[in-house]
Structure 1
Amino acid sequence: MAKKDKYAHLRVEEGVLKHGLPYRALGTGEEPLVVLRWFTDHHTNPEGWEKSVELSQLAPFGEHFRVYAVNRAPGMAPGTTMADIAAQHAEALTEKFGGPVHVVGPSSGGSLALQLAADHPQVVKKLALSMAGYTMGEAARKAQVAYAEAAVAGKRAFHHTAGISFKNPATAAVLKPLMWLVDPFVRPKEAADMAAFVAAEAGFDVRDRLPGIQVPTLVVSGGKDPACPPEICRVTADEMPDARLITYPEAGHTGTFTDKRFAPDVLEFFGVRARASA
């Protein structure tokens, strides 16, 4: 018996926006919602278990919007800046939708989303940031750079992210050797693209521009997030004129976006009351 596709009703499709930005769309709503993907080691639409995780995370939004999960363009040139990437996205989203859209930016996607709101506010209707703020946490910056450098050199790299992947330092210390061992099975598909984006995000810092960003913004922080510490999120919300902060005290980095409260909180911010089953 064929396995039933539980996301069939969400009409999943894939495509490419201007500048080669790959996207996966899903959802029963008419209004678009753009999710700028978190850190990925490839500039393609995720497949396999990564696709399944993405669909499950975005399904609650797909019950109300037509969701477009967008990645950075493949073939990213060395020296590309976050402003360059934001400019590409501004052109692509304007061509696709013709007007401002709601944007969700988790983790690295949040860095890009905030740069987009700063440089091209006409593209963003409302912005929801998760695990992200005006800059990266220093631990995340160092970990991503070390990961990228090792991966490009063909060395084991996965273990460099242990310290920012787990909210408990003891857990990170225990699992770091295991991550070193499994590295050959999770190598980046295209390390050069990932490394170019890592360099762009390493230089990302828009704190001095926060007072001028007028886009209504929700900042969702994890109280135990080692990659984007709560202080960065608090400053981001405090220094923007139309922003508010929600903190999940026990959440780590990825746990912020996957928290059961996240989708309802963001949907409410976008003016939608989530269904009880969401």
Structure 2
Amino acid sequence: MKTRDGVLPGGIPYVAAGEGPPLVVFPGFAPRNENPQGLERALAFGAFGELRSRYTIYQLARRPGVAEGATVEDFANDYATAIRATFGGPVKVVGVSTGGAAALRLAADHPDLVERFVVAGAAHTFTPESHAAMQGWLDRARQRRFPMQAMTIVLTTSPWWRPLARVALFLLNDLPDRGKDVSDGIATCQALMRFDCSDRLPDIRAPMLLILGERDGFVSPAIREATIRGVAGSRLAVYERRGHAGILLDKRFARDVGAFFGRDAEGTKDDSTKEADRVVASNERA
């Protein structure tokens, strides 16, 4: 898979792959706001499967050097600057986890820039359990200890699987999150723990698809239902037996994203949407 790196206006790093019209991706949490490398990059683009032959997928990192006290609204505003300068008009957006929170704010605050959008592994706020995990990451990062072990909730909510999750997450520590600057991650965690855009959901006008795992510890059933009720015309796909990270490994993800983006402005569908309609519930609220 050929990829290319660059920096968009406003200092937003990006990596792009594929062909066709733009599909803009806001990624999940990272200790540093930079483009993914190696296996992490392959996994990021692999989640989109054959969509790489239909779209040019631009994955936009958050702006490096974000200060403590920054908000998810700030992340969305940075993305808005980059999108407006680069693409001019509205684009299709996929926001994953942290990026999903930013996508909600972008759709609410900059409606002229969002044609349709998918929020995956996020909602209008996050659970207390996820806040505790993020606080654990913060504490360990500030102590210059390997921080990822605090985020077992990313992989599983089961106490039986937590030891294995800790081992897996230890291997994801950038051994040097000890010895490297993780201030971007600290600021991002703080912003996520303060995030709640429930009051802005009625302002969203772009069609939204919300994709969540049934076992996602970051978004409870009550939170996901409140998000769906708050956004007019939104749609919901819940993947059974999947957790926070597992939705990106599910073959349904690329299929459902492609089907949702295959709908045109008048609401007609191409053939690719038929299978997605079997698993995607509508909330066609006026």
TM-score (norm 1): 0.88
Q: In the alignment, does 2:114 pair up with 1:124?
A: yes
Q: In the alignment, does 2:153 pair up with 1:163?
A: yes
Deviation at 1:190, TM superposition (A): 2.8
SS at match of 1:170: coil
Q: How many residues align?
A: 265
1:233 corresponds in structure 2 to 224
Residues 25 and 176 (structure 1 numbering): CA distance in 2 closer, same or farther, change over 3 Å? closer
Q: Distance in 2 between matches of 1:259 and 1:86?
A: 27
1:115 corresponds in structure 2 to 105
2:41 is aligned, of 44, 47, 51, to 51
1:87 corresponds in structure 2 to 77
Q: Distance in 1 between matches of 2:205 and 2:174?
A: 45
Q: Distance in 2 between matches of 1:61 and 1:145?
A: 36
Contact 2:146–2:170, Cα closer than 8 Å, also in 1: yes
Residues 209 and 178 (structure 1 numbering): CA distance in 2 closer, same or farther, change over 3 Å? closer
Q: Distance in 2 between matches of 1:211 and 1:186?
A: 42
1:150 is aligned, of 114, 123, 140, to 140
SS at match of 2:47: helix
**Runs (4+) of structure 1 moved beyond 4 Å?**
177-184, 272-275
1:259 is aligned, of 250, 257, 268, to 250
Deviation at 1:127, TM superposition (A): 0.8
1:41 corresponds in structure 2 to 31
Contact 1:128–1:266, Cα closer than 8 Å, also in 2: yes
Q: Distance in 2 between matches of 1:155 and 1:121?
A: 41
SS at match of 1:105: strand
Deviation at 1:179, TM superposition (A): 4.9
Residues 94 and 160 (structure 1 numbering): CA distance in 2 closer, same or farther, change over 3 Å? same
Q: Which amino acid aligns with 2:153?
A: G
Deviation at 1:186, TM superposition (A): 5.8
Q: Which amino acid aligns with 1:261?
A: R
Residues 181 and 224 (structure 1 numbering): CA distance in 2 closer, same or farther, change over 3 Å? closer
Contact 2:155–2:165, Cα closer than 8 Å, also in 1: no
Q: In the alignment, does 2:187 pair up with 1:191?
A: no
Q: Distance in 2 between matches of 1:183 and 1:99?
A: 38
Q: Distance in 1 between matches of 2:103 and 2:56?
A: 18
Q: Which amino acid aligns with 1:196?
A: A
Q: Which amino acid aligns with 2:4?
A: E
Q: Which amino acid aligns with 2:232?
A: P
Q: Distance in 2 between matches of 1:75 and 1:57?
A: 28
SS at match of 2:236: strand
1:52-67 residue pairs with structure 2 within 5 A? 52-67=42-57
Residues 100 and 178 (structure 1 numbering): CA distance in 2 closer, same or farther, change over 3 Å? closer
1:242-253 residue pairs with structure 2 within 5 A? 242-253=233-244
Residues 129 and 187 (structure 1 numbering): CA distance in 2 closer, same or farther, change over 3 Å? same
2:92 corresponds in structure 1 to 102
Q: Distance in 1 between matches of 2:96 and 2:224?
A: 12
1:204 is aligned, of 185, 195, 202, to 195
Deviation at 1:115, TM superposition (A): 1.0
- Shifted more, 156-165 versus 173-182: the winner is 173-182
- Shifted more, 128-137 versus 231-240: the winner is 231-240
Deviation at 1:158, TM superposition (A): 2.0
Q: In the alignment, does 2:13 pair up with 1:22?
A: yes
2:284 corresponds in structure 1 to none
Identity of aligned residues (%): 34
Contact 2:49–2:254, Cα closer than 8 Å, also in 1: no
> RMSD in angstroms over aligned alpha carbons?
2.1
Residues 179 and 266 (structure 1 numbering): CA distance in 2 closer, same or farther, change over 3 Å? closer
Q: Which amino acid aligns with 1:15?
A: G
SS at match of 2:251: coil
Q: Distance in 1 between matches of 2:121 and 2:169?
A: 22
Q: Which runs of 5+ in 1 are unaligned?
A: 1-6
1:3 corresponds in structure 2 to none
Q: Which runs of 5+ in 2 are unaligned?
A: 263-269, 274-286
Contact 1:117–1:213, Cα closer than 8 Å, also in 2: yes
